[in-house]
Amino acid sequence: MKKGKVYLIGAGPGDIGLFTIKGMRCLQKAEAVVYDFHLNAQILNYIHHDAEFIYAGKRGGHHAMTQDEINQALIDKAKEGKIVCRLKGGDPFVFGRGGEEAEALVENAIEFEIIPGVSSSIAAPAYAGIPLTHRKYSSSFAVITGNEDITKPESSIDWSKFASGGFDTLVFLMGVKNIGNITSKLMEHGKSPDTPTAVVRWGTRPDQKTIVGTLKDIAGLVKEESIRPPAVMIIGDVVTLRDTLKWYENKPLFGQRILITREYAQDYEPLEDLGAEIFEFPTIKIAPPEDYNELDEAIERIEKYDWIIFTSSNGFKYFIQRLIDLNKDIRDLKGVRICAIGAKTAEAIKKYGLKVDLVPEEFNAEGLIKAFSTQPSALSLKGLEILLPRAEVAREVFPQKARELGGEIDAPVAYRAIKPEKHGKRLKRFLKEGRITIATFTSAATFNNFVDIMGKDANAVLKDVAIAVIGPVTAKAIEKAGLKVSIMPKEATIKAMVDEIIKWATKS
């Protein structure tokens, strides 16, 4: 049996961009993952779907597993010879019990590595515009647990040291429930009641909320604003810099959490750059056809075609792979003209050294008909042999029109868009809690599969969410279900949809 190993990984404070490259690499080879509640669920998307997922989170005081049970799970899975990732919010060694877990592994002679994460103790203040040290205000800081029962006779916290100026900046983690006792203890031991104080809830996330006051009034403000865990409290003169240095909450799309129902693509990056958080939940998965017969027959007589039309980069990818599998290559396409629907499809084709002869102005079947019917006679459809490798479920608009205009067209299935086995519990909770602000759909299939996954709650959870679509066909499917589409670009591309989302979200 192969020897198992455990990686204790800090998942960071919430912003997925703060997750480390090394942590990502380890997750991608994990065979078992033991994970907490307070982390960005999108990180789980990087884990191989065959890995074993073990939830060990704590929410609202309820523990899914005790610490002893977590330790034992790590030991047992490693002894099975598995690569195990213990995924923890923040940093495993900053009030994360990573030290206890590592000790348990040492006692059982199990190999392990620690992969540090960005702690909320530094990230939440930074995202709130509060530097923990500053040449004019602070040359030291302390990070203190706020979770200790400070009413017990023997506290491990030396309140006199923290209150008397031993540290210029104090950071309390997990202290919301004890905030009244914490501030009272500090003032009892000499900390000025007027010391600037801030509390940051859900730091680095779209839900981030920052309140600022003084040591004497912050507990009241927390109650007044209904601040609940998770939150970080910062005490010290550096808090006064927030008005000048706050940046995250000033981003144009701050507060927006945007659902994308297909795999993440680079075109979505501008949304994140402007402060939005992406919630990736693909409702379609691209797969090869169940039967290659029709596509194989077309490829075997490829030289007879005048045109090949690729309606998506997926269509091209699966076609070219099958061409290679049949022991052919791009030289067999000599003399066949190529049409691409959309700039992204054209770009994918050109990477193979192939020339794209036609890109319709409108990226749909109607635009394709218009492109052929308005071109010079060399591009007329009459008598043309056309190959259209496409998705299993596709519109018949262009094939029907091509035949009406005298063309001959073969439309074999090159790929399928199937519904992945996705558990939508967390997404449904986010939608019900109003934590998704914009939902995007790039095809009727992405929407229909979303409805299947959400079940009878689908319409209800989208009722108060702005819906963005890539084009009119998708919009029609959504409106048929009784929902309203708020955002739709003129050009049916993800980039155009993203641009339209930005315009919509930033309008005054």
Of these residues, 22, 29, 58, 223, which one is catalytic?
Answer: 58
Contact 387, 294 (CB under 8 A): no
15 included as an active-site residue: no
Instruction: List, as one string, the DSSP characters of 438-475.
Output: EEEESSHHHHHHHHHHHGGGHHHHHTTSEEEESSHHHH
Of these residues, 77, 82, 168, 174, which one is catalytic?
Answer: 174
Half-sphere exposure of 53 (CA within 13 A, CB side): 14
488 included as an active-site residue: no
Q: Which helix (H) or strand (E) holds 198?
A: strand 196-201
Contact 73, 65 (CB under 8 A): yes
Instruction: List, as one string, the DSSP characters of 264-300.
Output: --GGGHHHHHTT-EEEE----EEE--S--HHHHHHHH
Strands (E) across 355-450 are located at: 385-387, 390-391, 408-410, 413-418, 438-441
498: β partners: none
Q: Residue 195 in 3-state DSSP?
A: coil
Residue 383 has which token pair? 């008598």
Of these residues, 15, 36, 91, 168, which one is catalytic?
Answer: 36
Residue 327 has which token pair? 């022991």
Task: Determine the distance from the C-alpha atom of residue 482 to the mean position of all C-alpha atoms in its chain, rounded to a whole number.
Answer: 27
1 included as an active-site residue: no
CB burial readout 396-432, b (16+ within 10 A) else e: eebbebbeeeebbbbbbbbbbbebeebebeebbebbe
Greatest extent of the chain over all pairs of C-alpha atoms, in Å = 93
Q: How far apart are CA 417 and CA 473, in angstroms?
A: 16
Residue 406 backbone zone (phi > 0: left; psi -120 to 50: alpha; other: beta): left
Task: Determine the distance from the C-alpha atom of residue 319 to the mean position of all C-alpha atoms in its chain, rounded to a whole number.
Answer: 29
Burial of 214 (0-12, 13-18, 19+ CB in 10 A): middle
Catalytic residue numbers read 36, 58, 174
